[in-house]
Structure 1
Amino acid sequence: MKLGVRGSKLALAYADKVVHKIESPTPIEIVPIKTTADLHENKAIQDIGGKGVFVTEIEDKLLDKSIDIAVHSFKDLPADMHEDLEIIAVLERNDPRDCYVGKLHPHARVGTGSPRRIAQLKQNFNVEFDVKPIRGNIDTRLRKLDNDEYDAVIFAVAGLEALNLQKRIQKILPFDKMLPCVGQGVIAVQARKDLLDKEFYIKKLNHLPTYLSVMSERAMLQEIEGDCHTALGAISTLVGDCIILEAINYNNNKHWKAMSKRNEYNWLGKEVGKNIK
C-alpha cells in the first residue's frame, strides 16, 4: 500500500494520522510528492495556475497507479475532480477557525495571500491594516514573522495544532470576524474509483458527520465554480439530524444561510451556492 502526500511537515503529519487510523497489518509506504505550489513557494497561487496547484501532481500519481491513496487538506481540493477519482473518506473535523500570530494593531503589516482573508480583514474589522502577501509552509511564515517582516500573520488553527504550535496563537478569530474556507480543518483521503478494499478504508477512516457536513460545502463550491480567486467564506454545522450551511461570497457580498436534513447535504450546498452566485 502506497500513500501519496505533499512533503511538507503539515502534510506528513496528516498522513501519519491516516496511517495510524488504518491500522494496516501490512506496512504502508508514505510517498512524498512535490506539487506545483511546492516548486514555486515565492509566487502567488493565482500566478502559478490557481486551481489544483496543491494536488495535481498527487492526483496524477493516483491515476497512473504509482500510489494507492492520497491524503490532502480538504481545502486544497479544487471544485472539479478527475472522473476516475473520488474522496473516499474524511477524518473528524479539527478546529475550522482562523487565528493570528503576532500583534494585530491598527496599520499592522498583516501577512496573508488569501482573497477570502483579505476581504474579511477589510470588511470585518474597525481598523485599517497593511495587508501584505505571504507564501510558504508554516515554518517559513512564522520565520518571516519572527524576522519582523510582518506584525501578524493569519493561520488556520488546525494547521498550527497539528504541528503542536498552538502556543504561538495570539487569538482565535470567531466566525463573525473570519469565516473559514471550504473544508478548513478537514483531512481528506482520495483514491481511484476502482480501488480494491475501498469499503475497508471507508470503515476505518470516514467520519460520517464530518463527511456529510463538508460535502455540503463542496457542493456549494461546485455550484459557484469557485477557485483560488473566489473570496468565499463558509461553514457547515451539524445540529441533530440537520446541517446548517452559511456562506458569504465576498466577490459580490452575497450572504446566505440555509438548513436541510443530513442526507440532503448535496441539495443544501447547491441551494446556498445558487443564492450567492
Structure 2
Amino acid sequence: METKRLDGEPGGLSTLLRAALPVIPGVNQLPGVKKVSPKNFTGLSYARTAIAVTRAGVDAYSAVCSFPRKDTAPLPYPHVLAFPLHMAIMSDPAFPYPGIGMVHMENTITAHRAIGVGEVLDLTTAVAAPRAHDKGALLDFVTTVTAGDELVWESVSTYLRRGARTVGEPDAGLSFTDAPTGGVQWKLPGDLGRTYAGVAGDPNPIHLYPLTAKALGFPRQIAHGMWTKARSIAAIENRLPDAVTVEVSFKKPVFLPGTVAFAHRQDGDAHTFALTSPKDGAPHLLGRATPA
C-alpha cells in the first residue's frame, strides 16, 4: 500500500469542503472529485512527519477536555494530530466514500507510554478494504505514532458508511456487558462543539450550530464523539497506567446544550465506564480501560 505524505498545515474548512464535494450531484462526477468504486478499493495510507507536541496545543486540549495541566500529553491527544490524516484519506478520490456522512462507531487507543510535551512524532494512518455491517460498510482507520523508532501510541477508529452492504459476515463490534449506570452529571454548553473544533481541527457542521446541524439531519448540534471519550478518560486518568488500552463504542449522539451522566466501575486493573442520558439511562458511550 502506497503511503502519501501530508505536508503543510492540514485540516480546516478547505479539507471539509473536499470531503463534502462527492455528495453533490454533478460535481461528484468531476475529475479529482469522482470516487472509486468500493469494489476496487484495496487501501490507502497517509503520513505526517516531525510533528511537535506543543505546550499550547496540549494546554488548549486539556482545558476543553478537563485534563489537568501536565508535562505529558493527555492519553487521547495524539488523535488530534492524526485527525488530519483521517480527513486526507476521506477527501482523496481514491477513497470510495464521501467524508460527509461517515459515522464514528468505535475507537480503541493503546498508549505504550506517556508522550512528553516537546516530543517530535511521526504519524501514519492507513485504511484497508471495507468490512461488512448490517447497515452498510465499516472502515478501520489504523493510526500508528512513533518517536524515532519507538512505537508510542496507536489507535483504531471504526467508521460506518450507511448504504450498500459490503459482502461478508457482519462484525459484532465491541461488546460491553453490565455497564455502570447513573453517576455524576455534567452540564454541557451549547458552544462545546465549536470550542472542541477549534482545538481538534474538526469543524464538521453537525457540531457547530443548530442551523448547520439541521442541514445534515440533526435537530441541533451534537458533541464530538472523541470529546466524549476524552472527557470520560479525564475523569479517571489518575487511576490509569501510562501503558493502557481504552476502547469505546459510540451509541446515541449528545445534543448540545445538554446534560449527561458519567458512571465508572473498577474491577482490579480493569475500568468500565459509561456516559448516559440522565432522563432514561440510554447510553451515549460505553467504554473500558485495561493495562496494555
> Greater helix share, 1 or 2?
1
> Greater strand share, 1 or 2?
2
Instruction: Between the two structures, name the one with larger relative contact order (CA 8 Å, sep ≥ 6).
Output: 1
TM-score normalized by the length of structure 1: 0.32
TM-score normalized by the length of structure 2: 0.31
